[in-house]
Amino acid sequence: MLSMPAVEAMTAMPGLRRELLAARNPFSARFWESAESVLRRIAEGTATVGEVHGWLEATGTEPTAIIGLHVWDDEQARTPLTHELHNLLVRHLEERLTAGDIDPDRLLADDPVATRKYRELQERWMNSPLPDGRVPMDELLDEADDDFFAEWDAAEQAALDELQDILADVGERPRPDAELHAACRSLRTALTGGGWPADLLRAGGGVDSSNLDSDDEQLWLQLAAGVVSPVDEPPEDIPVDQLSASALDHEEWLEAVAALARGGPGTPASAEDLARFVTGGDDDDDIDVLAGWFITVVEQWQMLGAVDERERLTPLGWWGIPEALLQVWSHDTP
């Protein structure tokens, strides 16, 4: 009925109903009432995707769209694995329907107990081994993880390539050895003493405060890389709203750091400035959100000596921030 225009399906429905009755598979009156209602709303253009899928689920043989952490793609977007497992689940539901474990009329009535049992039946199947030993949920989540990491790696490589092109245009950014040495001396004291944001910087860099690298460049870049891509979990006593830098994606890091690299020492580098670099300054709502994400970044950069007390980029930050980002994206962190 859903494979043809809704008006045509409504016209064909009485004949289909008679054929099913003759085949001794008549369906219930409630089903036919719901079918007519859904088709009418589709014809009127008022039916939602969720409403139509809910009607399909109420047949007792259509998997629920979201089961646990897995979301079923539309049929045309399914991989061979998801197509196979979806078909196996449908077959399982058909068997349970025949056995009387599923009551479609109660599902059509949106009975909460029936709906909960229907979901639980699917969850049990998804988390139970198949005859070949595979667990459907594990297989689906593993495949989703592989797809996610492949997309992440592609985005990272694209960002790395673009950053390298930008830095080539910027030209030489000399390492300020005196500033680097002074910053690392302060960092060693702060990391040993602890507190905010030293504890977050230590965890992000994955360093042992009692055994810090004696090489200034290695230590500084390891800590700076941890601001972008933390190595260890943050201390438990740090509020969640102070960890929002992890929400920044490749493009946002790229736009912010590219603006600093092009601007050079003295470039404004407050959280709001960074947000404006990313958005182009066009959307105040987006700027506010991004500025909130950049707050902890700026605080850590200030401890690193990459941003000064006036929230402007220092020569050390001009050299080191792009360098740290290059190392993160090329997986060449110390």
d(CA 299, CA 324): 16
pLDDT the model gives residue 175: 97
d(CA 157, CA 42): 44
pLDDT the model gives residue 147: 87
pLDDT the model gives residue 24: 86
Three-state SS sequence of the chain: CCCCCHHHHHHHHHHHHHHHHHCCCCCCHHHHHHHHHHHHHHHHCCCCHHHHHHHHHCCCCCCCCEECCEECCCHHHCCHHHHHHHHHHHHHHHHHHHCCCCCHHHHHCCCHHHHHHHHHHHHHHHCCCCCCCCCHHHHHHHHHHHHHHHHHHHHHHHHHHHHHHHHHHHCCCCCCHHHHHHHHHHHHHHHHHCCCCHHHHHHHHCCCCCCCCCCHHHHHHHHHHHHHCCCCCCCCCCCHHHCHHHHCCHHHHHHHHHHHHHHCCCCECCHHHHHHHHHCCCCHHHHHHHHHHHHHHHHHHHHHCCECCCCEECHHHHHHHHHHHHHHHCCCCC
- Average pLDDT for consecutive 10-residue bins of the chain (334 residues)? 89 92 85 90 90 88 90 90 95 94 90 93 96 95 88 90 96 96 96 91 92 94 94 72 70 96 97 94 84 94 97 98 95 62
pLDDT the model gives residue 242: 54
pLDDT the model gives residue 246: 66
The structure tokens listed for 199 are 């504890």
The model carries a pTM of 0.66
